[in-house]
Structure 1
Amino acid sequence: MTVVKSPLPEPARQVTYDALQSTLVDLLGISLIGKQAHWNIVGPRFRSVHLQLDEVVTAARSFADTVAERAAALGLPPDGRPETIASAFTLPAPKDGWLRDEDVVEVIAETLGAAIGRLRERIEATEQADPVSQDLLISVTAELEKQRWMFEAENWPRES
């Protein structure tokens, strides 16, 4: 049953759906692992990293809503159910238990970096299929790149 008719023709519709749905999964997953790290971080930089994680979670949740609403506006039903996120999320995540601040910084930077790489592929894929969705993905990427930069700067200089 189609409730909202898509203005996009096939295969542009499928390309756009795949890009938006996989981005939704990544963003919801990032918000969950961000909170997991937020609750379990320990170490001398606890407060600053704890607060920085809130920024990542807020950005991921806000963009997840925007991405899901874009999909719905195109007649593409977004799927943010827990079982969908659990089965489809493949980005790096922190281990369970207490997390040292430098480990949190490293894994969040790695997670954001992986998400950014995937977003850049989706940006290319949607260039012809749906430039409006592509623009949204560009905005998401810009914010995640800013957040990744801030986390990477936390661990400078790194031991090689």
Structure 2
Amino acid sequence: MKASPTLTNNLQAVLADLIDLHIQGKQAHWNIVGTNFRDLHLQLDEIVDAARQFADDTAERMRALHALPDGRSSTVAKSTSLAEFPGGLISTKDAIDRIVAALEAAVGTMRKVHDEVDEEDPTSADLLHEFIAKLEQYAWMVNAETMKASASVTAPDAK
């Protein structure tokens, strides 16, 4: 099977977000300070490892479909849906907010392209299902660091 331009573009959008998620996770990992530093520092490594693996899986799937992945920094910077991560030291609370937002943005892209991907290539859609499940789990776990016990289960960003 050869990927159509639509499938290629959809998988490229996912790839760009995953590469950026990996980079942002490392930026946070190196520069967080504050309460629960060690726990978040280690948790960010898990997220970074998953994002790197998911990016690799996406790029290799693209090549299997005779599409060309583009992981160049200039391409990622132009096409990511993630907000830019700040430079310098960042508090654990601010890092949590930004990493959760990055995870949710990456998942948002996957959900946005899912139906078109599934229509053309259910195997690629299966990868998206796996990525979504794991990234949503990470978003929940990271977000739980600052949630109040009185927060609504249906509004996880209520802090």
- TM-score greater than 0.5 by the shorter chain: yes
In the other structure, the counterpart of 2:63 is 72
Residue 57 of structure 1 and its aligned partner are, at CA, apart by 0.3
Deviation per CA, 1:102-149, whole angstroms, max 9, x where unpaired?
Answer: 001111011111111111111112121111111111111111111111
Quote the RMSD (CA, aligned, Å).
1.4
2:118 maps to which of 120, 127, 142: 127
In the other structure, the counterpart of 1:15 is 6
Deviation per CA, 1:30-60, whole angstroms, max 9, x where unpaired?
Answer: 0000000000000021100000100110000
Residues 95-106 of structure 1 aligned to structure 2 (within 5 Å): 95-106=86-97
3-state SS of paired residue (1:154): coil
Measured in 2, the distance between the counterparts of 1:39 and 1:53 equals 10
In the other structure, the counterpart of 2:54 is 63
Measured in 1, the distance between the counterparts of 2:109 and 2:76 equals 16
TM-score (norm 2): 0.89
Residue 88 of structure 1 and its aligned partner are, at CA, apart by 1.6
In the other structure, the counterpart of 2:77 is 86
Deviation per CA, 1:59-91, whole angstroms, max 9, x where unpaired?
Answer: 000010010000001000111112211222231
Residue 93 of structure 1 and its aligned partner are, at CA, apart by 3.5
In the other structure, the counterpart of 1:46 is 37
Residues 104-119 of structure 1 aligned to structure 2 (within 5 Å): 104-119=95-110
Unaligned runs of 5+ in 2: 152-157
Decide whether the 8 Å contact of 2:81 with 2:109 is kept in 1.
no
**Aligned AA (2:111):** R
Instruction: List, as ranges, runs of 4+ consecutive aligned residues in structure 1 with deviation greater than 3 Å.
Output: none
In the other structure, the counterpart of 2:142 is 151
Residue 94 of structure 1 and its aligned partner are, at CA, apart by 2.7
Unaligned runs of 5+ in 1: 1-6
3-state SS of paired residue (2:88): coil
Decide whether the 8 Å contact of 1:16 with 1:133 is kept in 2.
no
Residues 1-40 of structure 1 aligned to structure 2 (within 5 Å): 7-8=1-2, 13-40=4-31
TM-score (norm 1): 0.89
